[in-house]
């Protein structure tokens, strides 16, 4: 702020600090973007729009239909309640791939694999991401059937009826972390921040999955192309490093990760039982640690999560995807979103 004020003084331009928007200004509507921090962003957006309208001589024109100058214009309200930003505090209920026939879909609940995507990659944004995810998990826990109705109309033309609350209450919910970050980031800061903030809200990850992204700095995969399951083998040394940091956070002691254990085929993926194990145990000599796993590729990971749900109808997976916008974008592409 000191730098901004000094620079504004040097340039002899006014500096306005936009006040956060209050939910009372929304006239009963909700911000379409999740997270308390979005009220700050919304306040800035409104200020910018007003500034632009004034500078172009249009402010008086739009005010004709407003009751008073301090009211939010209807156009502002529409924008704030419908704005979309992919990969930031975005919730995606997985839909069955075409390879799953309808009988499989209705027999095992399609709404039990939920992806929570946020491209946080700094300590501050990771804190915001953790708060949003914890609140979303808490809301889902308090109203287990409401989201089921919401997604029932979104699945490739299939019509699914809401399950009875008794069946819903028997679901075993697991919070899973799907993580990768670029090597220029510091996972020693990001991962502890995520764990601390989630834990302070009562959210604890059952497992963490560390996976390489498909996209890289200089190449983003086309949205129209289909990522193959048999991607070329990748160097997973960075993912094993992330796993070591995670295990140190969870168990408060160093674990030796066997990097010679290269999972380069579907047969070497963790067994489905991995998700049901207690993550607080594990020994340094085990090749697959009990609270985390390094996955060979993102497409295989998505398929493995879907198969876990299909094999266990009593399981609900809430998967937080974070650490990199590249990773979030790749997941959205694989989910065809």
Cβ atoms of 325 and 90 within 8 Å: the answer is no
pLDDT tens track of the chain, all 337 residues? 999 999 999 999 999 999 999 888 888 888 988 888 899 999 999 999 989 998 998 887 777 766 555 568 888 999 999 998 889 999 999 986 665 554 444 444 456 899 999 999 999 999 999 999 999 999 887 764 544 433 333 333 333 334 444 455 678 899 999 999 999 999 999 999 999 999 999 999 999 999 998 886 555 555 555 555 555 567 899 999 999 999 999 988 776 666 555 544 555 788 888 887 765 444 444 445 679 999 999 999 999 999 999 988 889 999 999 999 999 999 999 998 7
Domains of the chain: 2-82 (no CATH), 90-334 (3.90.190.20)
Distance CA(208)–CA(204), nearest Å, equals: 11
Q: 113-117 and 90-93: which strand pairing?
A: antiparallel
Q: Is 58 exposed, middle or buried (0-12, 13-18, 19+ CB in 10 A)?
A: exposed
Residue 65 DSSP SS3: coil
HSE-CB of 80 using CA atoms within 13 angstroms: 27
Task: Supply the pTM of this predicted model.
Answer: 0.77
pLDDT in tens, 91-141: 999 986 665 554 444 444 456 899 999 999 999 999 999 999 999 999 887
- Look at residue 161 in the predicted model and tell me its pLDDT: 39
Distance CA(278)–CA(295), nearest Å, equals: 19
Q: What string of DSSP letters covers 277-320?
A: S-TT---TT-SS-TTEEE-S-HHHHHHHHHHHHHH-TTEEEEEE
Locus of tokens 């910018």 = 48
Residue 12 DSSP SS3: coil
Cβ atoms of 207 and 278 within 8 Å: the answer is no
């Amino acid at each position: 702020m000191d730098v901004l004020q000094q620079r504004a003084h040097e340039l002899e331009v006014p500096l306005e600090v936009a006040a956060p928007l209050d939910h009372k200004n929304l006239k009963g509507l909700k911000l379409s973007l999740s997270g308390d921090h979005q009220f700050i962003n919304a306040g800035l957006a409104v200020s910018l729009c007003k500034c632009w309208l004034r500078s172009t001589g249009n402010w008086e024109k739009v005010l004709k239909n407003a009751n008073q100058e301090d009211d939010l214009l209807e156009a502002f309200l529409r924008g704030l309640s419908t704005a979309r930003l992919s990969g930031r505090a975005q919730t995606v209920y997985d839909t069955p791939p075409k390879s799953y026939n309808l009988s499989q879909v209705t027999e095992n609940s399609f709404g039990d694999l939920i992806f929570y995507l946020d491209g946080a990659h700094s300590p501050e944004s990771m804190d915001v991401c953790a708060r949003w995810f914890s609140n979303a998990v808490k809301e889902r826990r308090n109203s287990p059937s409401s989201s089921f109705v919401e997604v029932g109309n979104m699945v490739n033309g299939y019509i699914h009826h809401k399950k009875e609350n008794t069946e819903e209450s028997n679901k075993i919910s697991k919070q899973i972390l799907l993580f990768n970050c670029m090597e220029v980031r510091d996972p020693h800061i990001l991962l502890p921040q995520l764990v601390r903030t989630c834990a302070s809200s009562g959210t604890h990850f059952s497992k963490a999955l560390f996976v390489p992204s498909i996209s890289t700095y200089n190449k983003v995969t086309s949205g129209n192309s289909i990522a193959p399951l048999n991607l070329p083998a990748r160097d997973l040394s960075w993912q094993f490093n992330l796993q070591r940091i995670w295990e140190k956070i969870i168990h408060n002691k160093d674990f030796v990760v066997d990097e010679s254990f290269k999972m380069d085929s579907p047969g070497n993926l963790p067994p489905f039982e991995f998700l049901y194990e207690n993550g607080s145990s594990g020994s340094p000599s085990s090749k697959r640690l009990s609270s985390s796993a390094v996955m060979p590729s993102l497409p295989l990971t998505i398929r493995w999560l879907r198969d876990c749900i299909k094999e266990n109808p009593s399981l609900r997976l809430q998967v937080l995807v974070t650490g990199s916008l590249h990773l979030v974008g790749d997941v959205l592409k694989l989910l065809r979103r």
